[in-house]
Amino acid sequence: MPTTPAAFAAYVNRFDGVAAVGLVVCLRSTGELAGIVNLRPVNRDDPLRRAIGFGAFSGMTGRGYMREGVELTLHIAFHRLNLDGLEADIQPGNTACLNLVKRLGFRRQDCSVPPIWIDGSWRHHERWTITREMCYPGILS
Ligand SMILES: CC(C)(COP(=O)(O)OP(=O)(O)OC[C@H]1O[C@@H](n2cnc3c(N)ncnc32)[C@H](O)[C@@H]1OP(=O)(O)O)[C@@H](O)C(=O)NCCC(=O)NCCS
């Protein structure tokens, strides 16, 4: 998570608003930042699919803000950006993240995900996905 104005500016500069989209989750009442959500390309052969990443700022967890922010992001992804699917690679011990994606209807894929080097060690991940049809059943018919 970016923790300084400079880090936040650098983070924002990584997005072009088309292939890579960065969003912030704000409180309606005050505009205060609750967290960030981003969509990043995963595969050149599948331009309508994105990886979703998200995180809450300190003091903003456990209040449903991120669930609502990620849910709004699904709406933007499937209705405004016309994407087909999103995927999230999540460490098996990340209970808060798993609870959030399960609540929003993501499903675990039966596939092996290459371990990712984080903070000095290889971490295993599970892949969770959601498609436009899963989010809005009947939308394709
Ligand atoms: C993953 C992460 C964003 C989840 O944040 P979070 O605050 O737990 O998620 P929510 O905003 O949905 O809050 C849900 C919790 O708030 C509680 N809550 C309180 N009021 C609520 C409301 N009005 N609506 C919904 N939930 C509410 C729920 O009980 C829920 O707790 P539970 O999961 O124990 O049942 C956060 O843990 C995080 O930033 N982690 C570090 C970064 C990370 O791991 N990112 C994901 C990488 S894939």
Q: Whose CA is nearest to atom 30 of ligand 1?
A: 62
Number of the ligand 1 atom closest to the C-alpha atom of 61: 7
* Full-model pTM: 0.92
User: Which domains does the chain show, CATH number per domain?
Assistant: 5-135 (3.40.630.30)
Most confident of 36-45, 52-61, 128-137: 52-61
On average, the pLDDT of the chain sits at 93
Note the pLDDT tens digit of each residue in 8-28: 999 999 999 989 999 999 999
90 lines ligand 1 (CB under 6 A): yes
Residue 141, pLDDT score: 45
SS3 label, residue 65: helix
To test the pocket of ligand 1, the residue of 38, 39, 40, 63 to mutate (highest count of ligand atoms within 8 Å of its CB) is 63
Question: CB of 81 within 8 A of CB of 41?
Answer: no
> Where residue 73 falls among pLDDT bands split at 50, 70, 90?
very high
